[in-house]
Homo-oligomer: A and B are copies of this chain.
């Protein structure tokens, strides 16, 4: 009974996610679903990304959080459209919540939309929102054992940002073990080590993003 209902919820979500996806395709918007545990560095990555893509892509961000509008305020301070969704306790975004967020954006003015999911290494991976690609961010401070312990997000993501590599001298983290385990879970995963503090590796991420998102604005 419980399992059946979970299936129903996931199927209903798929319908709405497909509608979102069709709308994004019509408008020529490339959409990233950015996921990761709380504190992995999702919002900071977005801030660095916005700074570097100014004039090259017309970006917008939908922020998913359980409470507060802090992340949307951080993003809006960089001068791009930002919509905050408060899930009211829910541990992930779903297609319907994102549909609500889309309604607050001028889609004609956007090339690239990043939806920052709730900080959670588990549940967001189960729900499509109509994205073109799922990106995940993992911090070296979280430890190198995460790919095998939390495999789903690694499986469904196209790209993995391994963040906070500036902390590597101070934490026990085996990059090669992490990389091997992540590729065992998802052999097609592209892994880009970065530091949003020093800027190291961000060029690779920007390249990944620009190759995929079109530029229609100018």
Contacts and interface: CB of A to CB of B under 8 A. Distances in A.
Nearest to A1: B5
A66 interface: yes
B39 A139 contact: yes
A188 interface: no
A79 interface: no
B119 A70 contact: no
Interface stretch (A25-33, A50-58, A141-149, A209-217): A141-149
Interface in A122-167: 122-123, 139, 141-143, 145-146, 148-152, 164, 166-167
Nearest to A145: B70
Interface residues of A, number: 36
Q: How many copies does the complex hold?
A: 2
A84 to B, nearest CB: 11
A66 B146 CA distance: 11
A70 B148 contact: yes
B5 A149 contact: no
A89 interface: yes
A70 B150 CA distance: 12
B148 A68 contact: yes
Given A67-B149, A167-B167, 15 more contacts: A2-B5, A5-B5, A37-B38, A38-B122, A38-B150, A39-B139, A67-B148, A91-B123, A119-B122, A120-B120, A122-B123, A123-B123, A141-B141, A167-B171, A170-B170
